[in-house]
Structure 1
Amino acid sequence: MLSTAVQILAFAPALLGVLRATVATLLPNWKVSITAWSSIMTPMSQMQGLWMDCVWHSSGVFSCTMKNSVLSLPPYLQATRAAMVLSCMVASFGLCLASLGLKCTRWGGSHRAKGLTAIAAGGCLVLASFLCLVPASWFTNEVITAFLSTDLPDSSKYQPGGALCVTFLSAGFLLAGGVIFCLSCPGKRTRRPDHADRPVACRDAQRRRELQAERGENKTRHNKSVQLQMDEVKQQQRLHSSPSTLPPKDIRDNYSLQEYV
């Protein structure tokens, strides 16, 4: 499993990618007009986004109009809308999983569970990156194709705006964070008990040591009692079998008997 510093280093670009993808979805400058008008009554710049069209007037007035009709939008714009919203949702979910999979946090389960959570977070971040990259590339292709077309006047031509650059950067950040988190494979070290299971394991080990100590004491006491019984039996046998235990003869009786004879 990756170290804590590497995981935190991967969490930072993932967070930046989620924030950038959310901001890019809401920005109105996905494509910007290439003409600048000099008249006071005409707009100086026009920009179009996923949700609104904005106009910057020469008088300093900035006005936006919401795109309420979904059916009137071109297919690439509808697909870009859906993909960016889905990308933000998947990236946010992956970021939540990544916070659970960090080794520096105490929630998320054991080390193996944290490793699997980090891998799932990496998969979500990679998926969110592709959901950002594919519609942004499609949108850019449509803008460039319309710009290079000779059938449209210059007033109807647009160039890629800053929101597309932010989208590509967010896709790169999400991809980098997701790939690093996908490398958080749990190894053999993950079988050790984690911080949550460590007190229970310590109590079990202490209980086993106490039981072993009690068994050892009981065995020692039993051996001592058996040894004492054996010593008593041997002492009794020695008392019964030793010749020194016989009553001694009276020497005076022997001498008196000889004199009488």
Structure 2
Amino acid sequence: MSVAVETFGFFLAAIGLLMLGVTLPNSYWRVSTVHGNVITSNTIFENLWYSCATDSMGVSNCWDFPSMLALSGYVQGCRALMITAILLGFLGLFLGMLGLRCTNIGGMELSRKAKLAITAGALYILAGACGMTAISWYAANITQDFFNPLYMGTKYELGPALYLGWSASLLSILGGICLCSNCCSSREDPTTRSQLPYKTPTVVMPISDEGDSSFGKYGKNAYV
């Protein structure tokens, strides 16, 4: 059962990593709202890398952000966190493949595999935490501008990419928790216990220096 939980956690975190990779280049991190907007035929949507505008004919024009240093601080921070999350996830994926007990790569011992699996689980948790922080930080700025009555710029709503990123981060964290908890609870595998050599206990009887002591306790008349 523990091997099944370990494998389930690995694939759960791998799916979360794949979804994080899809979230990063997704164009719909935020979408312009029609609430309080006079012109509703144009739609603006952005992500961490570029901004696009769609007119009433459905034609989209996109342009990259001109300068990274000219961007807002939270956009730069979200970029760094998302890239860090994906890198940590790939490292955890590699270590997890080596640490799974259902794989036989390099002929490693079970104790070493458990350490690799725990490290992979920790990396998955860190990757999910970085992704969750980036998505939540970006969403917080969207809602702050939306509910600010003094903000005169374009107001946006949460895009579908943010919900995808939240789900991906949650899957990555849950998969890492499954790996760590399962490996910590099964450090002493019962299969390895059965492989230990069994030695028959030996009982050493004390030997008296006087030879057979049963004859020395009685006199000769006791046997007549």
User: Could you say whether these structures have the same fold, taking a TM-score greater than 0.5 normalized by the shorter chain as the test?
Assistant: yes
TM-score (structure 1 length as normaliser): 0.68
- Cα shift readout 1:147-193 (whole Å, capped 9, x = no counterpart): 0011134x711111111101100110000000011111252338949
Shift of 1:99: 1.1
Which structure 1 residue ranges, 4+ long, deviate > 6 Å from structure 2?
Answer: 36-39
Find the counterpart in structure 2 of residue 188 from structure 1.
Answer: 188
Find the counterpart in structure 1 of residue 67 from structure 2.
Answer: 69
Partner Cα distance (1:170, 1:189) in 2: 32
Find the counterpart in structure 2 of residue 126 from structure 1.
Answer: 125
Find the counterpart in structure 2 of residue 8 from structure 1.
Answer: 7
Partner Cα distance (2:117, 2:64) in 1: 39
Q: Does 1:55 align with 2:56?
A: no
Shift of 1:63: 2.2
Q: Does 1:144 align with 2:143?
A: yes
What is the aligned-residue RMSD (CA, Å)? 2.5
Which is higher, the Rg of structure 1 or of structure 2?
A: 1
- Cα shift readout 1:77-115 (whole Å, capped 9, x = no counterpart): 100001001100001110111111111101151111110
Any idea what SS the aligned residue of 2:189 has? Answer: helix
Find the counterpart in structure 2 of residue 164 from structure 1.
Answer: 162
Which runs of no fewer than 5 residues in structure 1 stay unpaired? Answer: 206-261
Partner Cα distance (2:28, 2:189) in 1: 50
Find the counterpart in structure 1 of residue 173 from structure 2.
Answer: 175
Partner Cα distance (2:128, 2:44) in 1: 29
Find the counterpart in structure 1 of residue 216 from structure 2.
Answer: none
The number of aligned residues is 192
Q: Which amino acid aligns with 1:187?
A: R
Identical residues among aligned pairs (%): 29
TM-score (structure 2 length as normaliser): 0.78
Partner Cα distance (1:190, 1:50) in 2: 50
Any idea what SS the aligned residue of 1:58 has? Answer: coil
Partner Cα distance (1:170, 1:129) in 2: 7
Partner Cα distance (1:51, 1:151) in 2: 27
More displaced, 42-51 or 19-28? 42-51
Q: Higher helix proportion, which one?
A: 1
**Matching of residues 62-141 of structure 1 within 5 Å:** 62-107=60-105, 109-141=108-140
Which runs of no fewer than 5 residues in structure 2 stay unpaired? Answer: 198-224
Partner Cα distance (2:67, 2:115) in 1: 43
Shift of 1:43: 5.5
Q: Which amino acid aligns with 1:29?
A: Y
Partner Cα distance (2:143, 2:21) in 1: 24
